[in-house]
Amino acid sequence: MSSKMSNPAPSFKVTRQAPELIAPVAPTPHELKHLSDIDDLEGLRFQVPVIQFYRQSHLRRSNDPVGVIREAIGKALVHYYPFAGQLREVGSGRKLAVDCTGEGIMFIEADADVSVDEFGDVLQPPFPGLDELLFDVPRVWGHTRVSPLAFPGNKTDLRRIHHCGAAEPHHGRRDRHRQFPDGRRRDGARAARRVLAARVRPFFFGPDEVAALRNLVPPHLTRCSTFELLMAVLWCTRTVSLKLNPADEVSMMSVVNARYKFNPPLPKGYYGNAFAYPAALTSAGELSANPIGFAIQLVKKAKNEVTEEYMKSVADLMVLNNRPHFTVVQSYVVSDVTRAGFKTVDFGWGEAAYGGPANGGVGVIPGVISFYIPAKNKKGEKGITIPICLPVEAMVVFVKELDGLLETARLAGDTPKKKTTPLITSAF
């Protein structure tokens, strides 16, 4: 596991041009598309900054990389024309819809006097100078309309995608969902925003780290995925680092792709959201006192709950309860983007040196959501980088606990009782 960048953070200057709109190069339909009740979740009304790095050797194929991007956007918007419109609230219920106006998306050309190599041997978030690299796209809801997609065109090539996609409404039966407030926990911005005074550090899990952690998995769970294993490890370690009351209820939510859960399948080319984030629940004391299998079991059970009926009940819940925000107090959400294909986006310059989330704290409450990002270490080994956002004092504990866990896991590989070794020592 590594949580440090190999080179010091570079200092650089960014010169931006004025924002412009890039419209589709051909006529597109003018219509109003209401978002589905899944897309309309209150907890999805935030923007995710994505950054793409391309090495200069690949850029030599084009003397005008910004022109290439500008032209490609105009062509792509003919097919994906809702992105050339505006998100806006319609009616009295704050229902989101895409007004397909064909106006275009925001594009900003910029130059930065820095090379990719200056960001270090291992490219991983958080990247320095994000305030300079990323343009702060307005995110005001209500009468102000918001673009679904903004596309700053720096030499590092940035994309910012709004989480709400365009789709048709769909309703189903009502059900209970533990990720939304139900009175057992008091949600409040004051409690959740403790994480704001925080720092972000990336942690790399390569083949050695994952193999070691599997030494702690009980026999009946050995087929758990790497994603589930790391979810359990991070949930436990993060909970200990926050020094919660043992009786406090804690939850772990994973973004689960439900695209293949429907019968008949979703239409080909559907690019609205089709995911849920089911919650695993327990107490902080139980999570800390039990071996890793306890957390893995809870995580697997929550993920397996996502079915077509589950998705329909989520949609119903949004309508019936005025789209509640998912619980943020003592909650942790993870999203696996290792298969999202960011790195393989090719504008004619080959594969990106890095492609994916630009930082480790997104959403209304930084620190509640983490991304699993494909990466390589100095040795060239493929693995997963996970940026963790925690208060400074909690980060110190987190690093200590995680290092201790990995050492325990490696030792467990040489011990007959390796399958019953506790995950971590309780900090309560």
- Indicate whether 121 pLDDT > 50: yes
Residues 271 and 378 in one domain: yes
User: Does position 197 have pLDDT exceeding 50, yes or no?
Assistant: yes
Q: Looking at per-residue confidence, does 379 or 158 come out higher? A: 379
Q: Are residues 244 and 389 in the same domain?
A: yes
- State the pLDDT at residue 414: 72
- More confident of the two residues 134 and 83: 83
Do 249 and 369 share a domain, yes or no?
A: yes
* Beta carbons within 8 Å of 223's beta carbon, 6+ residues apart: none
- pLDDT tens, position by position, 18-34: 888 999 999 999 999 98
Please answer whether residues 53 and 119 qualify as being in contact, where contact means their C-beta atoms are separated by less than 8 angstroms. Answer: yes
- Verify that 194 and 87 share a domain, yes or no: no
> Is residue 171 annotated as a catalytic residue, yes or no?
yes
Residue 289 has pLDDT above 80, yes or no: yes
Among residues 171, 248, 316, 325, which one is catalytic? 171
Q: Are residues 105 and 193 in the same domain?
A: no
Residue 357 buriedness (CB in 10 A; 0-12 / 13-18 / 19+)? buried
- pLDDT band at 118; cut points 50, 70, 90: confident
The pLDDT score that the predictor gives to residue 379 is 85
Same domain, 225 and 304: yes
- Per the structure, the complete domain to which residue 129 belongs is given by 14-158
- One domain, residues 103 and 231: no
Q: Supply the pLDDT for residue 147.
A: 57
**Parallel, antiparallel, or unpaired for β 158-162 and 95-100?**
unpaired
Q: What is the mean pLDDT of residues 366-383?
A: 86
Return the pLDDT at 367. 74
Residue 7 vs residue 289, higher pLDDT: 289
- The tokens of 252 are what? 């772990």
State which amino acid sits at residue 1.
Answer: M
258-287, pLDDT tens digit by residue? 888 989 888 887 777 788 889 999 999 999
The yes-or-no verdict on residue 191 having pLDDT over 60 is no
Contact 162, 85 (CB under 8 A): no
- Does residue 414 have an active-site annotation? no
- Which pLDDT value is given to residue 57? 62
Active-site residue, selected from the candidate residues 113, 117, 136, 346: 346
Task: Give the mean pLDDT of 109-122.
Answer: 82
Q: What is the CATH number of the domain that holds 245?
A: 3.30.559.10
Q: How many domains, the chain?
A: 2
Q: Band of the pLDDT at 203, cuts 50, 70, 90?
A: very high
Query: Given a cut of 90, is residue 140 above it in pLDDT?
Result: no
